[in-house]
Amino acid sequence: MIGNAMSEPTFATLVSRWYERNARDLPWREPGVGAWAILVSEVMLQQTPVVRVLPAWRAWLDRWPTPAALAEDTPAEAIRMWGRLGYPRRAVRLRDCAVAIVERHGGEVPDRLDQLLALPGVGTYTARAVAAFAFSQRHPVVDTNVRRVVCRAIAGEPDAGPATRPADLVATEKLLPAEPAAAALASAAFMELGAVICTARSPRCAMCPVESVCAWRASGQEAPSGPSRRPQRYAGTDRQVRGLLLAVLRETTGPVPHQRLDQVWPDDVQRTRALAGLVTDGLVEPVGEDSFRLLGDGPPMVPLS
């Protein structure tokens, strides 16, 4: 994904103007929304559609409007509130992040990129997203949508590949205006363009604000056919079994007998493997010899002598 001679400010300006007229009305984009709310939204939006995140985000912030509020609660309650958003380790990591924010930064989300990157569960994308969208800083915020936009418009390639590379950050940063607030706006605009116009398999090029300067359109190449990623099977997988086990544990306060968990899935080997995975992932902990509970859902365990 290497840039060409396209006028970088012109590209950013075109997309930013389009964004200001057409951006979706999402609550974490409203003026005055704080850094904690933006951080929560970014964690929830990882691999989860906006329509599913909206009610969960509101409920989460109603209960824990600050990092300190979440830090005072248990990991079990974070897992319960996460519900069925998927990838529930994000809930535990978000609570760990809240604890770190309280302990290291007095309960305020830090505005320095290095400090954001040092928080538990905060990676390259999330740290830069919070720095840009919460603090109006100039950083390349690169997700799948942004990589696709830059790869097509600048490099003339139909697909950006499966993972973000250092070169993607460099190419995107070259497109950002020098002024930090304008760069933050452009970062949001690039992301929105990839999400709603420059989509993976059905791009709406006629509605794109940079169609006239898009290297991919100029090349005449077609969009890749078929799914952008191989669909993951769910039915009958360990993921399904883990979800069923977690559902029982979320609905119960305190320990759940092994016999109750045995009822959720008939295959003993697969059920045992899924339960062990939940323990390994720090979502569930054993209680005594024959019960399990969500992490931290009760008094600390006393090691057997």
Predicted confidence band of residue 199 (pLDDT cuts 50, 70, 90): very high
- Token pair for 295: 């992490």
The enclosing domain of 267 has a CATH number of 1.10.10
Residue 28 lies in a domain: no
Q: Is residue 142 part of a domain?
A: no
Last residue of a domain, one of 114, 133, 152: 133
**Model-level pTM?**
0.90
Rounded to 10 degrees, the C-alpha dihedral 102/97/130/27 comes to: -90
Give strand ranges (E) for the chain: 256-257, 284-287, 291-294
Per-residue pLDDT tens for 123-143?
A: 999 999 999 999 999 999 999
CATH number, domain containing residue 96: 1.10.340.30
Q: Any bridge partners for residue 257, and if so which?
A: 291
Establish if 87 belongs to a structural domain. Answer: yes
Here the tokens at position 250 are 């979320």
One-letter amino acid at 296 equals G
Instruction: Look at residue 2 and tell me whether its pLDDT is greater than 50.
Output: no
Specify the pLDDT at position 223. 72
Give the CB-side neighbour count of residue 166, counting CA atoms within 13 A. 0
CA geometry: angle 18, 4, 223, nearest 5 deg: 65
3-class secondary structure, 304:
coil
For residues 6-35, average pLDDT: 89
Mean pLDDT of the 268-277 span: 97
- Does 25 reside within a domain? no
CA end-to-end span of the chain: 59
- Torsion angle defined by CA atoms of residues 258, 260, 266 and 267, in that order, rounded to the nearest 10 degrees: -20
Q: Cα–chain-centroid distance for residue 181? A: 23
- 285 given a catalytic annotation: no
Q: What is the mean pLDDT of residues 29-38?
A: 97
Domain boundary among 87, 111, 133: 133
Average pLDDT, the chain: 92
Q: Which of 69, 16, 36 is nearest to 185 (CA)?
A: 16
Could you report the per-residue pLDDT of 220-244, keeping only the tens digit for each?
Answer: 887 766 555 565 677 889 999 999 9
**Alpha-carbon span 14 to 303, nearest angstrom:** 62
Confirm whether 210 is domain-assigned.
no
Last residue of a domain, one of 117, 133, 149: 133
Catalytic residue among 8, 20, 30, 42: 42
> How many structural domains is the chain composed of?
2
Flag whether 213 is in a domain.
no
Give the pLDDT confidence score for residue 305 in this predicted structure: 45
Angle, alpha carbons 79-84-85 (nearest 5°): 90
What was the pLDDT predicted at 161?
77
DSSP code of residue 264:
T
Residue range of the domain that includes 60: 35-133
- Whether the CB-CB separation of 3 and 171 falls below 8 Å is answered with yes
Name which of 96, 166, 94, 86 is nearest 130 in CA terms.
Answer: 94
* Residues forming beta bridges with residue 152, ordered by sequence position: none
56 within some domain? yes
What's the rounded Cα separation, in Å, for the pair 186 and 19? 8
pLDDT for residue 46 is more than 50: yes
Query: What strand order describes the sheet that includes 256-257?
Result: 256-257, 291-294, 284-287
Asked if 43 and 94 touch (Cβ cutoff 8 Å), the reply is yes
Is 118 a domain residue?
Answer: yes
